[in-house]
Structure 1
Amino acid sequence: MKFATALITGASSGIGLELARIHARKGGDVVIVARSRDKLESIKKELQTQHGVKVHVVAEDLADGAAADRIFNATEALGLSIDVLINNAGFGGHGKFFERNLSADQAMMQVNMVTLTNLTHLYLKGMVARRHGRILNVSSTASFMPGPLQAVYYATKAYVTSFTQAVAEEVREYGVTATALCPGAVATGFVAAGDLQGVDIWKSAKSAESVARRGYEAMERGELVAFNECKLRVMLDWIIPLLPRKLVLKVSRQAMEKVA
């Protein structure tokens, strides 16, 4: 399925970059958004050279509360109709909540939840009016349980998964879909950025390319929630909900403990 133009946040590396490559490979134009203009310009050159598509660069810090409005205004000024919105940008952080820097967690909430919500609201109106569009919100398996040592991150992803499903139902009659991609550990810069070195689960992290491919395919099919591993889906859908809450918390914390 080919879409005219996709807007992808967090497109300078990891899953976002791979999603941009997939969309461009299919012949779709791309608006790539991230903080680093230099990285985005390099990616623009790559995508245009290899796939002959149009690529627009929007350098924005999504932790800024006004970023979503500026991004929307930039695409409006270019006369672009955004058929695909991929909210991929997000970050985490390790440590006990009361010991962490509050401003860092507030920035996390802004990027992971608020800017994602704002962008969805801004672009969804046009999709509904045109009766066509796809939204892919990159969430996490973390959204299905509380996360001691990543309390705010897990909570933000719970919001993303819940929000995406509710919006999907609201817009179903208008020919628009919304998909929450919920991967497990992924081999990206997320680990270093979130101070997660030494956390054991990242030893089995999947590649960003494989996760992006799974997410894009799920978006094309209009799936509600997409996992990149069957065993994770079984565990989160059928096992975790049956376990005592205190046991879930204990297991969740152990998964985030750093190995000495």
Structure 2
Amino acid sequence: MAPQKMYTETGDAREWCLITGASSGLGAEFIKLAAPLYHLVLVARRTDRMEALAANLFTEYGCMCIIITKDLAEEAAGTALVAELTEFQTANTEFHMPTILVNNAGFGYIGKFHEQDWARNRNMIMVNVTVCCELAALLIPNMVEKGFGRVLNVASIASYMAGPNQSIYFASKAFLRSWSEATWMELQGTGVTTTALCPGPVSTEWAAEAGIGSDGDMMKKADTPEFIARLGWTGMLAGKRVAMTRKTATQIKAFACLPKKLVLKKTMQLQEPKPEPTAE
């Protein structure tokens, strides 16, 4: 779908921020944080939700907003997205390539690897890993040339361990964090940074969609999306390598001290599918 403008031209010189997974959860919170400071490019599959979130941004913040409906699981989705923005730029001089990239889109999938649908796991790898690298590869060179840029990669506490019953999800977040930390070091001195946000459970739609269940043991002490989005956003602007809560940092240290088999067993129990409660 071609980019859809949600604004009238203002002529101001704000930078542009691209947010993926911008229709709900952390994405919706990142929009609130970005709108007072940046113009926005919002990317997700659910157009109606993005339109609802963007409806009052121009009135409240003078924030220009472009909505792009796209399934990031498609082959070369990141390349297609940047191509659309490049074409859009030729006809809209007030737009220029984003110097803030929030790689927020992602999803999980509960079950034993050999019993899962490979097509769905393949899509997870595309969204959680491939398109994040693809967008960064296409946008960071421009950031380096300008001498400023920020990339926020939404990883997870899951990136610090293996995850039986969610093996691909945990592995995808481990890749994302490792890659993010490596590029953070590579970019030193350029004015551009990459930050890995590593939260524990967050109370969004993610748990229900993954099949864990929003009232399962893992979600009982979940952080709010508002809190985690602000943690990641402020960490990104500050150029931090990793952003996480003290609670999460303590948990990661504890995991490292325990026998690996015990951690694997406990993790597997936490990832057991939980049916959503039904109203009586």
TM-score range, shorter chain: over 0.9
Note the residue ranges of structure 2 that are not aligned, 5 or more in a row. Answer: 1-12, 90-95, 276-280
Note the residue ranges of structure 1 that are not aligned, 5 or more in a row. Answer: none
CA distance in 1, matches of 2:84, 2:182: 28
2:101 equivalent in structure 1? 85
What one-letter code is carried by the residue in structure 1 that aligns with 2:19?
I
2:22 equivalent in structure 1? 11
Q: Is the 8 A contact 2:212 2:272 kept in 1?
A: no
Q: Which has the higher helix share?
A: 1
CA distance in 2, matches of 1:138, 1:3: 24
CA distance in 1, matches of 2:23, 2:72: 13
Structure 1 residue 136 corresponds to structure 2 residue 147? no
What one-letter code is carried by the residue in structure 1 that aligns with 2:240?
E
TM-score under structure 2 length normalisation = 0.87
What one-letter code is carried by the residue in structure 2 that aligns with 1:103?
A
2:8 equivalent in structure 1? none
Q: Is the 8 A contact 1:200 1:258 kept in 2?
A: no
What one-letter code is carried by the residue in structure 1 that aligns with 2:160?
F
2:243 equivalent in structure 1? 226
Return the match for 2:264 from 249, 252, 259.
249
SS at match of 1:204: coil
Distance 1:186 1:64, change over 3 A: same
Return the match for 2:58 from 11, 30, 48.
48
Sequence identity (%): 37
Distance 1:29 1:171, change over 3 A: same
What one-letter code is carried by the residue in structure 2 that aligns with 1:161?
R
Measured after TM superposition, the shift of residue 259 of structure 1 is 6.0
CA RMSD of aligned residues (A): 1.6
Measured after TM superposition, the shift of residue 3 of structure 1 is 5.9
Q: How many aligned residue pairs are there? A: 256
Larger Rg: 2
CA distance in 2, matches of 1:75, 1:14: 25
Distance 1:259 1:106, change over 3 A: closer
CA distance in 2, matches of 1:3, 1:183: 29
Structure 1 residue 68 corresponds to structure 2 residue 84? no
CA distance in 1, matches of 2:144, 2:64: 24
1:58-207 alignment to 2 at 5 Å?
58-79=68-89, 80-197=96-213, 199-207=216-224
1:134-176 residue CA offsets vs partner (Å, 9 max, x unmatched): 0000000000000011111000000000010001111112111
